[in-house]
Structure 1
Amino acid sequence: MEILILVVTLVSELAIAVYSIATKQSRSKIKSWTRIAMFIGFMMLSLGKVVVWEYTWGLFACLLLILAFKEIVALLRKQTNPARYKAISTIWKSLLLTLTVVVTLVPVLLFPQFRLPRVTGPYVVTTATYSYMDKNRIEEFTDQKDKRSVNVEFWYPEQADVTYPLLVFSHGAFGIKASNTSTFTELASHGYFVVSIDHPYHSFYTVSEDGKVVTINPEYMQEVNNANKDGVYSLGEFYELTQKWMKLRTDDMSFVMDTILEQAEQKKDSVYGRIDTQKIGVFGHSMGGAASVALSRERDDINAVVNIDAPFFSELVYDKVTNEINAKSEAFTIPLLNVYSDDVWIQLYSSPPYIANRISNENFKDAYNVHFKGAKHLSLTDLPLFSPILADLLHEGRKANIDKYYAIETQNELILRFFDYALKNQGQFAPKATY
């Protein structure tokens, strides 16, 4: 719809310019009524819900309104001394207006309207946001010696009359806590309390309850970007970086879990009191998936793990003598679901960071491994839904060869079925190897 409106608008303005040049008229009733009709047509599309109104349409709507108002004034005003026609002026005005139309539609093209992924559960889902301050940790990214503060958001059944399992999510390297909102909503609609964490300075941006905005730390961003390039870091340096990232992530996740569990014990009549503290799952995308696997090694109250497209950083050991990275030799006994895109699947047997992820690793012989063929790394988040262009840019122009709704909805279904099986003892879980 966005592209169609852009094309129709540009064609209309081109037709007006050609008509003006052909008739040698800078003003005409045809031009006026065309622009008025364009504004009325857009408003009718909006009122008829053909165009789903979002703030991203604001600039374009204002442009159409200004043009329509200008032409209404021109129709009502009697022109006594018409300006001398200049073809070059008409051409320049047409080019300027064309550029203006494109610019005002950029927000819509970047974030086009889309349908929400299906929600299949019986519960109406509500949300809540909180900011937790960890009095035992100093914020390492600032010089003020502030305490580490973490922002979280809950998705849970609105009418929760019993207790439900707790699921803790960690976003990717540059992600945000809303990165997999469709997944959280689907899980909550089936009776789960999902809490997603913003890791300050690791997340693209995060906003606390008091309105404080924290954006991604440039040094951390550079570290991650360099780690994905050959030759920037030695193997030892790369290993140290991954362990540093895991430490911050798992500390955040563990702190949030402890805070929630403490609140659940103390406030039985609050939202927290609806959480089943004996059934806990963790999951995450990319670096968040790696942190989820790592955290499950550290705590004994985690009952199930979902890793979405991440290397097992916590399962690696670095040998300084041989300058090699190897996998640990400790069995993983917690139910684990690995969901992989093409981007990661092709690295399982070729990239050292993924040595522990290999299907042949006996320590993870009971893990479920699923490959979404044709999917890219961000296909397993909601980003391709609300900004396909941005997703393609972050994939360096490499488009996913999988339907974006099929990818996210199928993943949501698999994660739901896995947690139902592992935490609620409901049904069986036997996923296909490839989707």
Structure 2
Amino acid sequence: MGTLLLLIMLIFEIAFAIYCMATKLNHKKLKNWVRVAVFIAFVMLLLSSVIDWNFSWVILTIVLFIFAVMGMSSLLYNKRNRQYKTSSIIWKTIVTILVLSIACAPAIVFPQYKSPKVTGTYQVATATYTYNDKNRMEEFTDKGDNRFVNVEFWYPKNTDKSYPLLVFSHGANGIKTSNTSTYTELASHGYVVVSLDHPYHSFYTVSVNGAKVFIDKGFNSEVSNSNKEGIYTNEEVYGLIQKWMKLRTDDMNFVIDTIRSKTKSDNDPLYQAIDIEKIGVFGHSMGGAASVSLGGERKDVQAVVNIDAPFFSELVYKKEIDDFVARREDYTTPLLNIYSDDVWKQLDSNSIYIANKPDNIHFKNAYTVHFQGAKHLSLTDLPLFSPILANMLQGGKADIDKYYAIETENELILNFFDFELKGIGHFTPKETY
């Protein structure tokens, strides 16, 4: 919609400029009426829900309002036309095009889109909280503050039953709402989903009091450089992996333990709707790695979904060969792996994905599926929310249809948790989608 509106306005501006130059007149009165009409038409599109109002339309709304006010002022006060000058027409057209392009940019980068389908029968409610961990100090600052974790819940609304708890961890530079369509689909089928921001690992996070924290530059640099040749040794990469996993699993443990405590002591209907004896964890990228790690550590975690992540917790660094090897211990928690092309093509290499190899006998009971044509971010909502950003971050457009990818992924995750946590049906996924 943003691209279409910009195109229409640019065509008008250019056509009007050509008309003025052809007639050697400014036609200011006509242009003022058009400015007012354009703003009224834009408001009508908003009121009729043709345009879904969100933050991306704010700048354009302000610009069109200012243009309309200026036009109406000129019409009311009957300001005389200035003497026609071709150079003036050209420069005003260029400036107007530039202003409109900037105003439309947010709507182009973050276009409106239809939400993936929700197939469950429960209405879904949300709630946000900030949990403060009195047992941990924040390592990213020197203020002596305790570590905090912001969480958001998606859960069935207005019911008197209890539902399994699912805990989600986002990827590096991600945010807790990265897979909102997944949480909504799961909650609509009778799950309480809690997604957490890992402060200083997430792109940004906002506490319930409005305080904002952005990604730590040091962490961002570590992640970026760990994917480049010659920056870190394998031993240094292994040390970074352990540090990242400890922070994330500590956050997830803290959230689960906090929720477990609140189900016993807090009368909030949300906590009373949680069946704390049925817990699943899942995550994307680094969050998937943390989920696999947590699933191997906690006995109360009964199912794990790993979305496009290496098994960091299953790596061992061997100094004598200066390389990684896979741990030789069975992973017994039910596990579903969902891989894009970006990860799938690395599974046969001796890299940080060595433990993920399909022939790893210690994961013989794990389910593994490949989304052919998908890129790393195809398994999040970002290609829907901002196709331009997704393509930039993942190095191009994915071949797979973005709605097919996320809706099929959501269906697989739902069926897996239904089978493992609720004992519903059978889970027999295809190897390739």
Question: Could you state the TM-score of these two structures normalised by the residue count of structure 1?
Answer: 0.96
8 Å Cα contact 1:374-1:401 kept in structure 2: yes
* Cα separation, 2, equivalents of 1:393 and 1:284: 22
Q: 1:44-193 counterparts in 2 under 5 A?
A: 44-78=44-78, 82-193=81-192
Kindly state the Cα deviation for residue 351 of structure 1 after the two structures are TM-superposed: 4.8
Q: Tell me the CA shift for residue 64 of structure 1.
A: 2.0
User: Which AA in structure 2 matches 1:6?
Assistant: L
Secondary structure at the aligned position of 1:148 is classed as: strand
* Residues 34-43 or 309-318, more deviating: 34-43
CA distance in 1, matches of 2:46, 2:198: 38
1:219: Cα distance to partner?
0.2
Question: For 1:364-391, what per-residue CA distance to the aligned partner results, in whole angstroms no more than 9, with x for missing partners?
Answer: 1111111111111111111111111111
Q: Which residue does the alignment assign to 1:416? A: 414
Cα distance between partner residues in 2 of 1:165 and 1:156: 10
What does residue 31 of structure 1 align with?
31
CA positional deviation for 1:148: 1.0
CA distance in 2, matches of 1:241, 1:269: 39
> Aligned partners of 1:79 and 1:265: how far apart in 2?
72
* Cα-to-partner distance string for 1:61-120 (whole Å, 9 max, x where unaligned): 22222223333333344456x422111111111100000000000111111111111111
Answer yes or no: is the 8 Å Cα contact 2:3–2:104 preserved in 1. Answer: no
Confirm whether residue 402 of structure 1 aligns to residue 400 of structure 2: yes
| 8 Å Cα contact 1:268-1:274 kept in structure 2 | no
Q: Deviations over 1:257-289 (max 9, x none)?
A: 111111112236642122112111000000000
Summarize deviations over 1:311-343 as a string: whole Å, max 9, x none: 000000001111121000111111100001111
Q: Which runs of 5+ in 2 are unaligned?
A: none
Query: Which position in structure 1 is the counterpart of 2:329?
Result: 330
Note if contact 2:186-2:193 (Cα within 8 Å) is conserved in structure 1. yes
**How far 1:228 moved relative to its partner?**
1.0
Residue equivalent to 2:432: 434
Counterparts of 1:327 and 1:79 in 2: how far apart (Å)? Answer: 79
1:45 Cα shift? Answer: 2.2
The alignment covers a number of residue pairs equal to: 433
The Cα offsets for residues 343-366 of structure 1, whole Å up to 9 and x where unpaired, read as: 111111125100000101111111
Q: Secondary structure at the match of 2:353?
A: helix
Contact 2:337–2:366 (Cα < 8 Å) also in 1: yes
1:352 is paired with a residue whose SS is: coil
Q: 2:421 is aligned with what amino acid?
A: L
SS in 1 for 2:301: coil
SS at match of 1:325: strand
| Alignment deviations for residues 189-224 of structure 1 (CA, whole Å, 9 cap, x no partner) | 111111111111111111112222111110000000
Alpha-carbon distance in structure 1 between the residues aligned to 2:327 and 2:60: 56
Instruction: Note if contact 2:130-2:151 (Cα within 8 Å) is conserved in structure 1.
Output: yes
Are the aligned partners of 2:296 and 2:332 in contact in 1 as well (CA < 8 Å)? no
| 3-state SS of 1:303 partner | strand
Q: Are 2:289 and 2:309, in contact at CA under 8 Å, matched by a contact in 1?
A: yes
* Counterpart-to-counterpart distance in 2, 1:75 and 1:150: 55
**1:343 alignment partner AA:** D
Match of 2:385 in 1: 386
Distance in 2 (CA, whole Å) between partners of 1:134 and 1:263 is: 14
Counterpart amino acid of residue 297 in structure 2: E
Distance in 1 separating the partners of 2:74 and 2:24: 17
Q: Distance in 1 between matches of 2:270 and 2:49?
A: 35
Evaluate the alpha carbon distance shift between residue 83 and residue 370 of structure 1 in structure 2; reply closer, same or farther with a 3 A threshold.
same
* Regions of 4+ moved over 6 Å: none
Q: CA deviation at 1:48?
A: 2.3
Q: Matched residues in 2 for 1:78 and 1:298: separation?
A: 77
Residue of structure 1 in register with 2:366 after alignment:
367
Give me the whole-angstrom Cα distance separating, in 2, the residues matched to 1:28 and 1:272. Answer: 63
Deviation at 1:37, TM superposition (A): 3.0
Structure 2 CA distance for aligned equivalents of residues 20 and 351 of structure 1: 67
Bigger mean CA offset, 25-34 vs 191-200: 25-34
Partner in structure 1 of residue 347 of structure 2? 348
Please show how residues 218-367 of structure 1 align to structure 2 within 5 Å.
Answer: 218-267=217-266, 270-367=269-366
SS in 1 for 2:332: coil
Contact 1:307–1:337 (CA under 8 A) maintained in structure 2: yes
Aligned equivalents of 2:55 and 2:140: distance in 1?
33
* Counterpart amino acid of residue 51 in structure 2: V
Secondary structure of 1:288's aligned partner? helix
Cα separation, 2, equivalents of 1:120 and 1:386 = 20
Q: Return the alpha-carbon distance in structure 2 between the equivalents of residues 204 and 42 of structure 1.
A: 33
**1:152: how far off?**
0.9
Measured in 1, the distance between the counterparts of 2:245 and 2:305 equals: 16
Q: Deviations over 1:279-304 (max 9, x none)?
A: 11000000000000001111111100
Distance 2:225 2:218 in 1: 10
Q: Distance in 1 between matches of 2:83 and 2:266?
A: 78
Of 59-68 and 310-319, more deviation after overlay is shown by 59-68
Give the whole-Å Cα distance in 1 for the aligned partners of 2:378 and 2:156.
27
Inter-partner Cα distance in structure 1 for 2:107 and 2:78: 38
8 Å CA contact 1:327, 1:356 repeated in 2: yes
In the alignment, the residues of structure 2 paired with residue 3 and residue 212 of structure 1 have an alpha-carbon distance, to the nearest angstrom, of 34
Of stretches 92-101 and 256-265 in structure 1, the one that deviates more from structure 2 is 256-265
**Which whole-Å CA distance do the structure 2 matches of 1:287 and 1:243 have between them?**
12
